[in-house]
Structure formats: structure tokens, C-alpha cells
């Protein structure tokens, strides 16, 4: 029986392991396309028959939830769970820890999304089956990052030496947090295009610099400056993350990718978006051959099929295994992030790891402590 492994944070997998996951995703894509082309006329033997995935979504989702569930079904397994917390015992006050412990008795793995930062790490502490993080608040979205990397890898044949422009809500955009770090691990560079109010969080910038020696170029304007960009990654401004409606209204429509801007971009540049979109990408752009966001959404199925196969022991990753480098060192104090799960769940006892010499960060949400001195 393989040792239990979760998919809470992509950084817990080495770059070599990530590349193996992408290669496996390629095999799964070929499998899916073959099955679709034959319309079931030539069925392929299921890879995970009789296995059950618990799909637990405390927060609304379309692509992540459906692609996880589709991935499990295409592998021959089945799915149980809930698409909104109000239909489960969470509405009665059941804790996250108890929901996870109960679900682990029913299912062979758990795919989840939760509105609080760090919820996935808490779930992993109480689960006896693999937990796959489908987004925890504004913190991380590693499975989205895996399919983003797969999209980029298919296009360029590499994840190194590229320049990726992240545009929009970079403060609350968990997809951009995960992607910026993942690309830095492969030696690629990020350009951050955002209003001042929505810049990448300081803890993400600190992490990129201290762990990977990477710097992020900050810009305010989308138009122009795309001459050397390989990927333009657009994101929506997330109304649900703002505590002050006035701040949201001030930044809500600041960026819009239209035909005029795209005409000035390189012919080999591709446009990505985690979706859903609002008005940050004009409909007229959809027909441009550089657009990849609908293909990107499809890539979620083979990427998550690969994840399920590895975490449930059907496929193996070879070479040095990644580890959890965020080893807790201090169990006292309070996280300064008011969205962190430690402020909402009694099971989430505060934990802090040494982010860099003399600095501590929350093990759940990676927010650097206000009190930075360790000694």
C-alpha cells in the first residue's frame, strides 16, 4: 500500500515529479480523445474501478468540481459529495475536521474547495485518504496550476525560460499565487499587471525571492509591454473577496483585453484565463488563434486524471520524492490573516514555520507573522 500523500500544495512535489505528472496527463488526454472519438464503441479498461471520490465543495465551482468528477468517472470510479455546504451537515454546524473524517470512511480520496485560507492543510491533518486541494480561499489552487502548467507545456514544450504576464486580481487570485511560484521553480519569470490595491501579496513576493531568487516586474498598464511575453494570464476581479464594496467598484473594470491590445502582442503569445470571466476579455478575442482558455478548461480533466492515478497508487512517480518543507517550529501566536482557517475552526491550532532565517509564517496560509523575530 503506497504511503498516504495529499495534493495540498504543488510545492510539495519536485519539478521532476511535476513533469512526470504532465507526461501522464498527456497519456490521459490521448485516452479521453480516443474514447470520445469512438463514442464508447471501443471501451478502454477502467483504471480505477470501484474507487470512490468524495467531492466536497463548500464554495461555488463549475470547472474545478466538474473536471474532478469527470476525471474520476472517466477512470472508472464514482463520485459522492455535495456542491454547496447548505445541503450537507455543515449547515448544522459540523466542523471541517469532522466532515473530512467522516468522508474518509466513505471514499478513497477527497477533492475539496473551501472559502477559508488554509482549509486544505487542515483537512489533510484529519484525512486518512488523499486530499486534493481544489482551492482554499484566496490562498492556493494547485490543481488549477497543474492544468495551467500542462497547457503551457503542451504549447512550448518546456516550463523554463518563459515570461508570463499575470493580469488582474493578483492579491486574492489563488491561481496566480500558485502559478507564480510553480513557474519560478522551473526558472521562468513573471510580470505582475495589477492596480496597486491588487498586487501580489507580500508573502508571495518574499517567497519567490527567498526560495527561488526570483523577482517580479510590477506594471500597471495592460496595453503595450507584451513584446517579449509568452503567456498572458488574465484573471477576473473577484467581488466575493472584497470586504469594502467601494474598493471593488474602483478596480472592477480596470483591465479589458480587446482586439486592439491583442493585435499589438506577439504572434506566438497565448492567452489563458482560469475562468469564469466577466468583462476582462472581450468576446471578440475568442476567435483569435492565440486563445487557449477553453482548451485550458478541458485540460483540467486529463491533469486531474493523472493526479488521481498517482495519489491513489495506480501510477508511480520516480526519482526523489518531494516533501513538506514547511516544517512547523512554533505553535503559539496568532495569524494576522483574518481569512485564515485558524480564526474559524477550533481544530486549526496555530502553527508557524521558519519562512526564512528570523521570520515565521503561518503553516495554513503562508502569511508572514507581524512579529518577525524568532529568537
According to the model, what pLDDT value does residue 372 have? 45
CATH number for 156-295 (one of 3.10.20.30, 3.40.50.1370, 3.40.50.2300, 3.40.50.720): it is 3.40.50.1370
CA 191 to each of CA 182, 185, 216, 219: distance values in angstroms, whole numbers, following the listed order: 14, 15, 6, 7
Report the candidate in 206, 117, 212, 157 with the shortest Cα–Cα distance to residue 26. Answer: 157
The predicted structure's pLDDT at residue 255: 82
List the beta bridge partners of residue 270: 231
* Closest to 148 (Cα-Cα) out of 54, 243, 18: 18
Q: What is the mean pLDDT of residues 214-240?
A: 85
Residue where the block lists cell 504532465: 22
Average pLDDT over residues 69-98: 85
User: Quick one: cell of 352?
Assistant: 508557524
The percent of residues above 90 in pLDDT, for the chain, comes to 60
Over the stretch 162-184, which tens digit does the pLDDT of each residue have?
A: 999 999 888 888 888 889 999 99
pLDDT band at 359 (very low <50, low <70, confident <90, very high): confident
pLDDT exceeds cutoff 90 at 152: yes
Delimit the domains of the chain by residue range: 10-141+298-311, 156-295, 328-362
Residue of 53 and 321 predicted with greater confidence: 53
Give me the pLDDT at residue 356, please.
77
Can you give the pLDDT at residue 240? 60
- Distances in Å between the Cα of 182 and the Cα atoms of 7, 177, 358 are 14, 9, 25
pTM for this predicted structure: 0.91
**What is residue 52's three-state secondary structure?**
strand
Check residue 150 and give its pLDDT: 97
Q: For the chain, what is the mean pLDDT?
A: 88
User: Using one digit for the tens of pLDDT, what is the confidence trace for 243-260?
Assistant: 656 655 666 677 889 999
Query: What confidence score (pLDDT) does residue 374 get?
Result: 39
Equal CATH topology for 10-141+298-311 and 156-295? yes
Which residue is it, cell 503559539? 332
Domain 10-141+298-311 fold is: Rossmann fold (3.40.50)
Place 112 in a pLDDT band, splitting at 50, 70 and 90: very high
Q: Provide the pLDDT for residue 316.
A: 92
Amino acid at each position: 500500500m503506497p504511503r498516504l500523500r495529499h495534493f495540498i500544495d504543488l510545492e510539495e512535489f519536485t519539478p521532476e515529479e511535476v513533469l512526470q505528472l504532465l507526461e501522464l496527463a498527456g497519456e490521459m488526454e490521448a485516452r479521453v480523445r480516443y474514447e470520445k472519438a469512438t463514442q464508447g464503441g471501443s471501451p478502454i479498461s477502467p483504471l480505477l474501478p470501484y474507487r470512490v471520490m468524495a467531492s466536497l465543495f463548500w464554495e461555488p465551482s463549475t470547472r474545478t468540481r466538474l473536471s474532478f468528477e469527470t476525471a474520476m468517472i472517466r477512470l472508472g470510479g464514482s463520485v459522492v459529495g455535495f456542491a454547496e455546504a447548505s445541503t450537507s451537515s455543515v449547515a448544522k454546524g459540523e466542523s471541517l475536521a469532522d466532515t473530512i473524517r467522516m468522508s474518509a470512511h466513505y471514499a478513497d480520496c477527497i477533492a475539496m474547495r473551501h472559502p477559508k485560507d488554509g482549509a486544505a492543510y487542515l483537512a489533510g491533518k484529519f484525512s486518512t485518504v488523499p486530499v486534493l486541494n481544489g482551492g482554499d480561499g484566496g490562498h492556493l489552487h494547485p490543481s488549477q496550476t497543474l492544468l495551467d502548467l500542462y497547457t503551457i507545456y503542451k504549447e512550448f514544450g518546456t516550463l523554463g525560460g518563459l515570461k508570463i504576464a499575470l493580469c488582474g486580481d493578483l492579491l486574492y487570485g489563488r491561481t496566480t499565487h500558485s502559478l507564480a511560484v510553480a513557474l519560478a521553480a522551473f526558472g521562468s519569470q513573471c510580470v505582475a499587471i495589477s492596480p496597486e490595491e491588487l498586487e501580489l501579496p507580500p508573502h508571495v513576493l518574499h517567497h519567490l525571492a527567498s526560495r527561488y531568487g526570483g523577482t517580479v516586474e510590477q506594471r500597471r498598464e495592460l496595453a503595450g509591454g507584451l513584446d517579449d511575453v509568452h503567456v498572458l494570464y488574465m484573471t477576473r476581479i473577484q467581488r466575493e473577496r472584497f470586504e469594502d464594496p467601494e474598493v471593488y467598484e474602483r478596480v472592477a473594470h480596470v483591465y479589458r483585453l480587446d482586439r486592439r491590445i491583442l493585435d499589438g502582442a506577439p504572434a506566438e503569445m497565448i492567452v489563458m484565463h482560469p475562468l469564469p470571466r466577466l468583462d476582462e476579455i472581450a468576446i471578440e478575442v475568442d476567435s483569435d488563434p492565440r486563445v487557449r482558455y477553453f482548451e485550458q478548461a478541458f485540460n483540467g480533466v486529463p491533469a486531474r486524471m493523472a493526479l488521481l492515478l498517482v495519489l491513489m497508487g495506480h501510477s508511480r512517480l520516480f526519482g526523489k520524492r518531494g516533501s513538506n518543507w514547511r516544517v512547523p517550529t512554533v505553535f503559539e501566536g496568532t495569524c494576522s490573516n483574518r481569512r485564515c482557517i485558524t480564526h474559524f475552526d477550533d481544530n486549526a491550532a496555530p502553527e508557524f514555520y521558519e519562512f526564512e532565517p528570523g521570520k515565521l509564517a503561518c503553516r495554513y496560509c503562508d502569511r508572514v507573522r507581524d512579529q518577525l523575530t524568532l529568537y
